[in-house]
Structure formats: structure tokens, C-alpha cells
């Protein structure tokens, strides 16, 4: 009887291979012959002959088969491995080399892990699998063309072997197969990997890393140009640096030793002589840099996804597959909406609404935010350049960290400022959430508490007021808390490095963070050992290095250590102490008092409840909140002198953020798990109380978050360049620059400022705005008072010239002020409209030649010859560091009685150069080096691929 299913069996039957027509000779090295022979006998098709030899070359010379099956080491081929290899081999006469799928057997898994299926090399010559290794083998691969294959269990035509003179015996098996594949591809023969032929790596032993890498470099540089060799060297050095950054010192050492072996051992390089190939014949068989970058991004995205999933509470039930030991069982569940998903969605939507209102033309400004610099180099110079009249003083240290951060936005400082204000709340939320989750707080509680912390800068006015330093500090604070908690647990150098790293960024914004963190570490039990003491010392030194030259510059102004960034822009009015407990310091951008009372009042209540429920866990947060409110009250009572000699009142914003952060920590730690406790309680008063508390907390936090999106940034503005008349702006930035005295009356209050150059920029307030340093400050105040009083004395125009004021600009159309200024003797004819009026001051500039009349000049100007009595006078504070040269010849400095800097010019003629020497050019390198060391110390250890 005919089998009705014969057709189905026929279609699924393995194709027959005519072994007699395609004889195979197995070449087995003597050392592994005893283990390999039994495996060859298990093949489903017969091996024509098994030749045992001391080298593959010797065995191939004695072989008679059409195909050579190579066994330089012990591997365990599947019984049908040869059938699969030979079936692919006979499909085309162009196929000359076929490699199997190399797998590693897993003890508990029902599938094996893919080790390689074909080989290729990176642009720096590193041997890598043609497909990603480490995945379970589930038959997902197909036959593919490759650069090379592992020589173990590879099938090669004997004709091809003879044509390319076999393999290089000195190479490890994987590299030998790769080099053989290069020769085959260059000869126009196809090299393929056949995943249906499975070969198990028996007790895989990685090759000696230095020799392996040295041979990789020799192979990659064989026949290459000097430029390619140089690129290979540089790439390998960067690879060693990458190992070092990943805390793999052994990997970095091996890479450097391999580079040395490659460069020194010319005899080994000569082994590859005559085996050079044309790179064009290998096109498409090696990964491009774009593919490598894409692969790196894919891995990074996977790591981010894994980290995100760890922030959410997931089901932890064990599946049947897991119980039966399947390493690759599906462990996921049907995804459900979590508190993390809801919180992230709300934060992103609110950030989009709030950020949309910040976009526009011009530069973002606020009460505590000056317009950003036009270029990155301007910001860098604002940090490093010395300040006239104040020895040892340079720009504030936070300008250096801002310049470093601006590299992320390709040097566009305004992009950094704008993006910073858009993402500060979401970023603070995410980092606070990570910190709370790491301390075991349940996801829902952590999400709500993190939102409460993230809106703290908004409630206290740091966001709406434009206090960039406080916003940065609010982002760094959760990172610092996370690192401190980790250090208290494990006392590791990695955790100490993380504390030092985040302290370096926090201390430049709020210098008082330095002693607070050091004292906190010293008070913990972890600091009582010698190891802990060394780690505290590391953190202490880091704080000093981060402040850098500011430590010496601020020696005359110790009050600056009590303030945050840009203290001179803050009001001198002291806030009400009782309002500080509600995070309401008053001023620009602060939330309404009722909103602060609701949000912060609920935070205090929740923290107290948390302290009552779990005092041990909530006490640290409550103590931090108390410290924050005490510092806010005490420091805001003080008036201190800050660089370059201006009085300022320390603002409480940073400490109010700390207070709210402590409250949220106490509430989250104390109330975490409260909802889960309801599972074991019946309906009643307790459940109603918990539900009511949840509604109140979520409502209060949600109300604060909604106000952030709706009105939190309403006090921020975009500058426009049309305020000053164009001809005035041109004069201020010309080769003979002048200053402008700007006066405006708003709401009955007269405000004035001396404008210079491209107007005040980010951080210029800490360097000393024009007219803020004595004796200029007293003179400028006197000039303004006399102008506005209508005294019209003859000395006014002279005093304006001493200040370098070339124009007086009145904003608005106040008739009384226009009349008072217009009557001043010596001023030019005023011009203007309803928007404002301008009066020139003849013979005034920042630099003038005083002698036979007054001549305006500036840096780079050509000076004509003149009388011996001429002086070069600068409207700058006197400072011994000023240098003036004419065609390289230095001029003798001269200090004028009124505090201005002058030089004896005489009859000199030529190109004038002005320079204020000093600065801190070396410090950035010290700080950058320290930062790199801390990054290496704090980074997780690199997991090397086995």
C-alpha cells in the first residue's frame, strides 16, 4: 500500500550529498586527535579520511579530498554538521570556505548561546563576530557571506588552500580562519557562514589577550599605508583609554602591551609578508563606523530601557518556565499602566507647556539671570580673565562648569540656558525618583515625592527669577544624596568618588555645600576607619579644587562663601522668616503665598506623619529639612561683602530647595508601603484615612506642578536688541569703545546702570559691572544724583568723561528728566523720540589720550606722534597688572589720584596694545584632570565580553 504522506516526508527530508563526488579530508592536530576522532565517527555522512598531523599545513599536504575539514582545537560538531556544511559548499563552485555556527552549551538552558557565525574586524582591527554573540540559538540566522570564519571545524576547498598557501600557523584559530577568509575573498572566492551546521565550543578558553591583540594589529596593518597605521595606533590608544575609564586596568594594560609588541616585533610582522590583500575586495564585509555607532546607540537604548523598568514596581511572580530552569523563558507580563508611566506622562506634558512659553527671539533673562554670551569663548574668558582693581580675582567658578556644560550644546550658551530651564524640573524629578527608588521607596510614593521636590525651585522663585545656580544645584542635589547614601552603606572608593564628583558641581553653585557634605561624611560611622578617613579627605580636596582660584580671590570677601551664584543681582530686602518655612522668600517669580502654603504645608504634614510611622527611616530627611529652614532664616538675615566689593544679602532659595527635599525624603521613607498595608485590612476608618491622605498629597503636588506649567516662568523675559539706539551700540563696541549711562524711571522709581561693550552678560555681575567698584561707584552715584536733581554744574560732563561715558541715554519720555539732563553744560545736542533720548559726551571713551586736547583710542589703534606731555588714560580701576605697549615698547604705568589707570605716553607712536595680565590659565587643566579622575573612580566597572 502506498503511503499517502510520502510527499510530505520527501519535502522535509535532508538532501542527499554525494560524498564520493565531493570527498572530505579531516585534518586533526595531534594534540586533539584522541578527543576529535570519536566525534568524526558520529557524523551522518562519512568522512573520507582523517589525517592527524602536527600542523594544518602538514595535514593538508597529505590530504586527497576535494574539501578539507579543519580541527586545530577540540570542538564538538553536531552529527549533521558536515552534511550541512557540504550541502552549502556544493551549491556553487564559487564557494571556497564555509564556517559553522559556533555555540556555547548552557547547563540549565534548552538552547545554546551563539558565540559566532562568521567573523569580521572593526576599523581598529579588533576581531568581532559577524553577528551579535550571547543570544540564544533559536534558528534565527541564515546563510551569509562573511569576511572570515573560525578555523575550527571550517570546511575549505583544497584547491583554494593550495592557491593561498593555507593558513599562517602562528595565528590563533579564530584569526587564522579570518586571515584565510581575507585571502579567499581577495581571490574572488566566496566565504560563507552556515548556521545550520552547529559546532559546540568545548571548554572555551580565550586566547592570551596580549598575543591575540598584537596579531590583530599586525593583520590589520599588513600592507597598509603609514596613515592607516597611524590611525590604527591612535584608535588602539583610545581603546586603552576606554578600558581605563571602564575601570578595566588589566584590559588597558593588555592593550598597551599589545601595541608595544606590534610595534617592536618586526619578525612577527614579516610572517604576514606576501599575504597583503586589496581592501577594495573586502568592501561590505566589515562593519562601518556608522554601523558601530548605531550598535552602540542600540546598546545604550537597551540600558536606558532596563534602567527605566527598574524604576517601576513590576510583578515578581515566578513562571512555570522559570521553575523548570529555562534561562530564556519569557519573564515579561502584559504591560500595565504604572505610577511611573503616569508621572512621566504628566511631567513631560507640563514641561512642554512651560517650555513653549520660554521660546522666542533674543536671550532669556530674569531677575537673577543676565543675557548669555554670544560665543563660547566669551563665556570662557569671563571665567578665566582677571578682574581689574581686585588682585587674584577671576570669574566665578560656576562660569567654568557652565562653559563645560555648553560643550553639550555645541558651544551655544543660549541653547544651554534655554534647554536648562526647560528640562530642569523633569530632570530633577527623574534624579530624585532614582534616589528614592534606590532607598527602597515604592514606585507610586517615590513618583509623587519626586514631583514635589522637582517643583521646589519653582515655588521658591529660583525658576521664575532665573537663578541658574540654584536650578543647577537642585539637579545635582539628588545625585549627591544618592552617592552619600551609597557611601554610608558600602564605604567604597567608587561611592566616595561619586560624592566628590557631584560635590564638584554643587560647590561651584552653592559653596556652603562643601563644608556641609564634609561634616556629614565625618559624622557617619563609615568615616571612623582609615579607609573612610581617606575618602573624606578626597571629598575635602575635591571641594577646594572645584572652587579653584576663587578660594584665593574670595579671601578678601569671605561672605561670598555664604551666597549662591550671582549674589549682587539679588535684592537687599530681607524676607519674612515665618514665610521661609513655606518656601516663600518673596521677590520675583515666587509662587503665590496660598499655593506655597498648600504645597509646602502638606509636605510638612506628610513628613510628620512619616516620622511618626517609621521614625528611623524618616528622621534623616526631617533633619535635613530642619537644617534647610534654619540656614535659610539665618543666612538671609546677613548682609555680606562679595566680589568685587559689593554688599549683598545671601538668598535663601537653595536652602528652601534643600528643605523641601528633606520633607519629601521624610514623607516618602515614612509613608512608603502604606497603601500595600491596606491589602491586609478590611474597609474602615484606616482605609478612609489613607485614601484621604493620598488625595490631599496628590492634589497639592498636582496643583503646584500645574502652576509651574501655567505661570511659573512668567517673570522670565527675552531680551531685544532694539532698546538702545543703534548708533550707541555701535559706539560701545567700536575700536574706540565708550560706556553708556542708561537711566529709566518706572513706577516712580529711577533706575540706572553703566553699560559697556556688548552689555552685561552671564556672570559679569560677579566680575564687577561698570560703576560698581570704588572709587567709580561713588563717582557714578554722585553723577546720577546731580543729573536727576537738575544741578547742571560744569563738573558733570568732566565726571562723565572720567567714567568713560560717551552717551547718556534716557529711556521713556519723562519731560522732567529730559529737561534736567539737557541743561547739563558740556553735553552734546540730545536726540530722541517717545521711546527715549540720547545725549553725547564729547571727548569721552574708555581709553583716551590726554595731552594736546583729548583723543579717543583703544586696543589695536594706531597712535600718531605727539608732545612729550601726553598720557594714556583708562577709565578703569588702577591695577598694577595693567600693561600698555606701543609697537611692543612698554609704557610706564601711572596711577591717577582719582583711582584711574594711566600710562606715560609722551611722543610714542605706533600700534597700541592694552592688556590686563594675570588670570587662571592653569587651573582649568587641574580641574579637568581632577574631573576625569573622579569620573573614572565613580564610573561602574566595565563588564568585559567573555
- Pick the more confident residue, 762 or 1: 762
CB atoms under 10 Å from CB of 178, counted, come to 28
Q: Residue 219 above 60 pLDDT? A: yes
Q: Residue 535 above 80 pLDDT? A: yes
Cα–Cα distance, 215 to 265 (Å, whole number): 11
What pLDDT, on the 0 to 100 scale, is given for residue 681?
A: 59
DSSP state for residue 148 in the 8-state scheme: B
Tell which residue, 546, 475, 470, 554, has the closest CA to residue 508: 546
What pLDDT, on the 0 to 100 scale, is given for residue 421?
A: 96
Q: Residue 4 above 70 pLDDT? A: no
Cell 583711582 belongs to which residue? 899
pLDDT category, 332, cuts 50, 70, 90?
very low
Over residues 741-761, mean pLDDT = 82
16-282 CATH: 3.90.550.10
Domain ranges of the chain: 16-282, 339-717, 726-840, 847-916
What pLDDT, on the 0 to 100 scale, is given for residue 9?
A: 44
DSSP state for residue 93 in the 8-state scheme: T
What pLDDT, on the 0 to 100 scale, is given for residue 317?
A: 46
Least confident of 709-713, 747-751, 836-840, 916-920: 747-751
What pLDDT, on the 0 to 100 scale, is given for residue 747?
A: 67
Cα–Cα distance, 129 to 132 (Å, whole number): 6
Least confident of 34-38, 92-96, 134-138, 607-611: 134-138
Cell 564634609 belongs to which residue? 518
Q: What's the helix, strand, coil split of the chain in %, to 5?
A: 50, 15, 35
Over residues 638-660, mean pLDDT = 93
Q: Residue 454 above 80 pLDDT? A: yes
Cα–Cα distance, 156 to 44 (Å, whole number): 19
Cα–Cα distance, 882 to 19 (Å, whole number): 93
What pLDDT, on the 0 to 100 scale, is given for residue 337?
A: 77
Counting every residue written for the chain, the total comes to 946
What pLDDT, on the 0 to 100 scale, is given for residue 736?
A: 92
pLDDT category, 715, cuts 50, 70, 90?
very high
- Pick the more confident residue, 252 or 874: 874
Cα–Cα distance, 744 to 742 (Å, whole number): 7
pLDDT category, 106, cuts 50, 70, 90?
low
Over residues 83-87, mean pLDDT = 90
Least confident of 9-18, 45-54, 384-393, 663-672: 9-18
Most confident of 383-392, 535-544, 747-756: 535-544
Q: At what angle do helices 685-711 and 443-454 cross, to 10 degrees?
A: 40
Over residues 105-121, mean pLDDT = 78
734 Cβ contact list (under 8 Å, min separation 6): 858
What pLDDT, on the 0 to 100 scale, is given for residue 375?
A: 92
Over residues 808-832, mean pLDDT = 82
Over residues 349-355, mean pLDDT = 95
DSSP state for residue 136 in the 8-state scheme: B
DSSP state for residue 704 in the 8-state scheme: H
State the average pLDDT for the chain. 86
Summarize pLDDT for 478-526 with one digit per residue, the tens: 999 999 999 999 889 999 999 999 999 999 999 999 999 999 999 998 8
Exposure of 310 in the CB half-sphere (CA atoms within 13 A): 14
- Pick the more confident residue, 250 or 764: 764
Summarize pLDDT for 494-506 with one digit per residue, the tens: 999 999 999 999 9
pLDDT category, 138, cuts 50, 70, 90?
confident
Q: Residue 3 above 60 pLDDT? A: no
Over residues 395-418, mean pLDDT = 94
Cα–Cα distance, 131 to 684 (Å, whole number): 60
405 Cβ contact list (under 8 Å, min separation 6): 416
**Cα distances (Å, whole numbers) of residue 464 to 354, 365, 713:** 11, 10, 5
What pLDDT, on the 0 to 100 scale, is given for residue 197?
A: 93
Grid cell digits, residue 108: 540549565
- Pick the more confident residue, 274 or 108: 274
DSSP class per residue in 915-946: EE----SSHHHHHHHHHHHHHHHHSPPP----
Q: Residue 819 above 90 pLDDT? A: no
In the 3-class helix/strand/coil scheme, how is 345-404 assigned residue by residue?
HHHHHHHHHHHHCCCCCCCEEECCECCCCCCHHHHHHHHHCCCCCCCCCCCCHHHHHHHH
pLDDT category, 58, cuts 50, 70, 90?
very high
pLDDT category, 685, cuts 50, 70, 90?
low
Most confident of 548-557, 744-753, 823-832: 548-557
- Pick the more confident residue, 97 or 201: 97
Q: Residue 230 above 60 pLDDT? A: yes
Summarize pLDDT for 788-801 with one digit per residue, the tens: 887 778 888 889 99
Over residues 735-743, mean pLDDT = 91
Cell 533559536 belongs to which residue? 138
Over residues 252-256, mean pLDDT = 88
Q: Residue 423 above 70 pLDDT? A: yes
What pLDDT, on the 0 to 100 scale, is given for residue 98?
A: 95
Q: Residue 330 above 70 pLDDT? A: no
What pLDDT, on the 0 to 100 scale, is given for residue 946?
A: 43
The β-bridge partners of 839 are 808
Q: Residue 919 above 80 pLDDT? A: no
Summarize pLDDT for 847-864 with one digit per residue, the tens: 999 887 888 999 999 999
Over residues 56-78, mean pLDDT = 91
pLDDT category, 15, cuts 50, 70, 90?
low
Tell which residue, 758, 763, 841, has the closest CA to residue 804: 841
Amino acid at each position: 500500500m502506498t503511503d499517502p504522506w510520502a510527499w510530505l516526508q520527501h519535502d522535509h527530508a535532508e538532501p542527499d550529498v554525494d560524498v564520493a563526488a565531493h570527498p572530505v579530508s579531516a585534518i586533526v592536530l595531534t594534540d586533539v586527535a584522541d578527543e576529535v576522532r570519536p566525534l568524526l565517527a558520529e557524523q551522518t555522512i562519512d568522512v573520507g579520511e582523517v589525517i592527524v598531523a602536527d600542523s594544518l599545513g602538514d595535514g593538508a599536504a597529505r590530504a586527497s579530498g576535494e574539501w578539507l575539514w579543519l580541527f586545530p582545537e577540540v570542538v564538538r560538531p553536531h552529527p549533521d554538521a558536515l552534511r550541512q556544511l557540504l550541502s552549502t559548499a556544493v551549491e556553487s563552485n564559487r564557494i571556497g570556505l564555509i564556517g559553522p555556527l559556533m555555540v556555547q552549551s548552557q547547563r540549565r538552558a534548552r538552547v545554546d548561546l551563539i558565540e559566532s557565525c562568521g567573523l569580521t574586524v572593526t576599523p581598529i582591527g579588533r576581531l568581532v563576530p559577524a553577528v551579535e554573540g550571547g543570544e540564544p540559538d533559536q534558528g534565527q540566522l541564515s546563510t551569509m557571506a562573511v569576511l572570515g570564519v573560525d578555523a575550527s571545524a571550517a570546511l575549505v576547498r583544497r584547491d583554494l588552500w593550495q592557491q593561498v598557501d593555507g593558513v599562517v600557523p602562528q595565528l590563533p584559530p579564530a584569526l587564522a580562519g579570518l586571515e584565510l577568509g581575507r585571502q579567499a575573498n581577495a581571490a574572488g572566492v566566496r566565504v560563507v557562514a552556515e548556521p545550520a551546521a552547529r559546532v559546540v565550543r568545548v571548554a572555551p578558553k580565550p586566547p592570551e589577550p596580549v598575543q591575540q591583540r598584537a596579531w590583530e594589529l599586525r593583520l590589520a596593518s599588513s600592507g597598509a599605508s603609514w596613515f592607516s597605521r597611524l590611525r590604527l595606533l591612535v584608535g588602539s590608544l583610545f581603546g586603552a583609554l576606554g578600558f581605563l575609564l571602564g575601570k578595566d586596568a588589566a584590559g588597558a594594560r593588555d592593550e598597551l602591551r599589545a601595541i608595544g609588541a606590534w610595534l617592536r616585533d618586526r619578525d612577527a610582522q614579516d610572517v604576514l609578508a606576501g599575504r597583503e590583500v586589496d581592501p577594495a575586495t573586502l568592501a561590505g564585509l566589515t562593519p562601518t563606523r556608522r554601523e558601530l555607532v548605531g550598535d552602540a546607540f542600540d546598546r545604550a537604548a537597551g540600558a536606558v530601557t532596563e534602567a527605566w523598568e527598574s524604576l517601576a514596581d513590576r510583578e515578581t511572580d515566578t513562571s512555570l518556565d522559570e521553575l523548570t530552569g529555562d534561562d530564556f523563558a519569557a519573564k515579561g507580563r502584559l504591560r500595565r499602566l504604572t505610577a511611573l508611566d503616569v508621572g512621566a506622562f504628566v511631567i513631560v506634558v507640563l514641561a512642554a507647556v512651560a517650555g513653549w512659553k520660554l521660546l522666542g527671539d533674543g536671550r532669556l533673562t530674569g531677575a537673577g539671570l543676565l543675557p548669555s554670551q554670544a560665543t563660547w569663548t566669551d563665556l570662557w574668558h569671563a571665567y578665566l580673565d582677571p578682574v581689574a582693581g581686585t588682585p587674584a580675582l577671576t570669574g566665578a567658578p560656576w562660569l567654568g562648569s557652565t562653559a563645560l556644560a555648553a560643550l553639550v550644546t555645541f558651544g551655544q550658551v543660549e541653547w544651554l540656558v534655554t534647554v536648562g530651564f526647560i528640562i530642569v524640573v523633569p530632570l530633577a524629578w527623574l534624579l530624585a525618583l532614582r534616589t528614592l527608588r534606590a532607598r527602597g521607596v515604592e514606585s507610586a510614593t517615590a513618583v509623587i515625592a519626586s514631583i514635589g521636590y522637582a517643583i521646589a525651585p519653582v515655588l521658591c522663585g529660583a525658576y521664575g527669577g532665573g537663578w541658574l545656580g540654584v536650578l543647577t544645584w537642585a539637579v545635582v542635589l539628588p545625585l549627591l544624596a544618592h552617592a552619600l547614601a551609597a557611601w554610608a552603606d558600602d564605604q567604597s572608593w567608587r561611592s566616595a568618588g561619586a560624592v566628590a564628583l557631584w560635590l564638584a558641581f554643587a560647590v561651584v553653585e552653592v559653596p556652603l555645600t562643601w563644608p556641609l557634605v564634609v561634616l556629614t561624611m565625618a559624622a557617619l560611622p563609615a568615616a571612623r576607619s582609615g579607609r573612610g578617613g581617606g575618602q573624606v579627605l578626597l571629598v575635602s580636596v575635591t571641594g577646594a579644587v572645584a572652587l579653584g582660584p576663587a578660594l584665593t580671590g574670595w579671601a578678601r570677601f569671605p561672605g561670598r562663601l555664604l551666597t549662591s551664584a550671582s549674589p549682587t543681582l539679588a535684592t537687599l530686602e530681607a524676607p519674612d522668616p515665618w514665610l521661609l518655612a513655606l518656601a516663600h522668600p518673596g521677590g520675583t517669580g515666587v509662587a503665590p503665598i496660598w499655593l506655597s502654603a498648600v504645597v509646602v504645608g502638606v509636605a510638612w504634614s506628610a513628613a510628620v506623619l512619616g516620622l511618626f510611622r517609621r521614625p528611623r527611616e524618616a528622621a534623616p530627611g526631617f533633619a535635613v529639612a530642619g537644617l534647610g529652614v534654619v540656614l535659610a532664616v539665618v543666612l538671609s538675615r546677613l548682609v555680606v561683602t562679595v566680589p568685587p566689593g559689593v554688599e549683598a544679602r545671601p538668598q535663601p532659595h537653595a536652602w528652601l530647595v534643600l528643605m523641601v527635599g528633606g520633607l519629601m525624603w521624610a514623607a516618602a521613607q515614612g509613608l512608603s508601603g502604606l497603601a500595600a498595608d491596606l491589602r491586609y485590612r478590611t474597609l474602615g476608618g484606616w482605609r478612609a484615612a489613607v485614601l484621604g491622605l493620598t488625595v490631599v498629597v496628590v492634589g497639592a503636588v498636582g496643583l503646584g506642578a500645574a502652576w509651574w506649567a501655567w505661570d511659573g516662568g512668567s517673570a522670565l523675559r527675552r531680551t531685544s536688541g532694539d532698546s538702545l539706539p543703534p548708533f550707541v551700540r555701535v559706539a560701545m563696541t567700536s575700536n574706540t569703545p565708550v560706556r553708556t549711562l542708561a537711566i529709566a524711571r518706572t513706577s516712580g522709581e529711577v533706575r540706572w546702570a553703566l553699560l559697556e561693550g556688548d552689555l552685561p552678560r552671564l556672570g559679569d555681575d560677579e566680575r564687577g559691572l561698570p560703576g560698581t567698584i570704588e572709587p567709580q561707584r561713588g563717582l557714578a552715584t554722585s553723577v546720577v544724583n546731580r543729573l536727576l536733581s537738575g544741578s547742571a554744574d560744569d563738573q558733570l560732563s568732566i565726571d562723565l568723561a572720567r567714567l568713560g561715558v560717551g552717551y547718556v541715554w534716557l529711556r521713556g519720555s519723562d519731560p522732567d528728566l529730559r529737561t534736567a539732563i539737557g541743561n547739563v553744560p558740556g553735553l552734546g545736542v540730545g536726540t530722541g523720540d517717545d521711546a527715549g533720548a540720547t545725549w553725547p559726551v564729547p571727548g569721552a571713551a574708555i581709553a583716551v589720550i590726554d595731552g594736546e586736547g583729548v583723543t579717543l583710542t583703544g586696543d589695536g589703534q594706531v597712535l600718531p606722534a605727539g608732545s612729550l606731555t601726553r598720557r594714556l588714560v583708562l577709565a578703569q580701576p588702577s591695577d598694577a597688572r595693567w600693561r600698555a605697549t606701543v609697537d611692543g615698547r612698554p609704557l610706564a604705568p601711572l596711577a591717577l589720584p582719582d583711582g584711574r589707570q594711566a600710562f606715560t605716553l609722551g611722543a610714542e607712536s605706533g600700534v597700541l596694545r592694552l592688556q590686563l595680565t594675570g588670570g587662571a590659565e592653569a587651573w582649568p587643566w587641574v580641574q579637568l584632570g581632577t574631573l576625569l579622575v573622579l569620573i573614572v573612580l565613580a564610573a561602574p566597572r566595565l563588564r568585559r565580553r567573555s
